[in-house]
């Protein structure tokens, strides 16, 4: 199908290594890593979908539990409103955990400095 380039350029791996060196000379030895499905490497679209899903799921579960308990005990408005608020809070807590793990929320670094570089205790 394909043909080898003219000249004695060596095998494909050596040519690929030289091409990668030309593209990014600071990289040194190019290593491809397979990180799997780690939360820290989550794409922006995946993060947005997960955040939306967590919010909707928390609210839906809270409303469902509130509706069922309200129907069973006869205080539908009370249980529905209380468990809807609890579900909304649980959804926001899940979103906070996801954003905190993906380094989207800025906080103090290990050296006790904020993002701007000033000490927190100053």
The model's pLDDT over 17-32, given as tens digits with 9 standing for 90+, comes to 888 888 876 665 544 4
pLDDT band at 53 (very low <50, low <70, confident <90, very high): very high
Q: What letters, b where the CB count within 10 A reaches 16 and e where it falls short, cover 46-55?
A: eeeebbeebb
CB of 40 within 8 A of CB of 103? Answer: yes
- As a whole number, mean pLDDT of residues 73-99 equals 92
């Amino acid at each position: 199908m394909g043909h080898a380039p003219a000249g004695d350029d060596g095998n494909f791996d050596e040519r690929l290594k030289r091409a990668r060196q030309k593209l990014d000379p600071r990289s040194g030895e190019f290593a491809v890593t397979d990180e799997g499905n780690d939360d820290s490497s989550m794409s922006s679209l995946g993060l947005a979908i997960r955040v939306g899903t967590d919010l909707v799921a928390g609210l839906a579960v809270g409303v469902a539990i509130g509706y069922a308990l309200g129907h069973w005990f006869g205080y539908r408005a009370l249980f529905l409103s209380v468990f809807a608020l609890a579900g909304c809070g649980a959804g926001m807590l899940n979103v906070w955990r996801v954003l905190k793990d993906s380094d989207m929320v800025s906080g103090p670094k290990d050296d006790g400095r904020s993002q701007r570089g000033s000490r927190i205790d100053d």
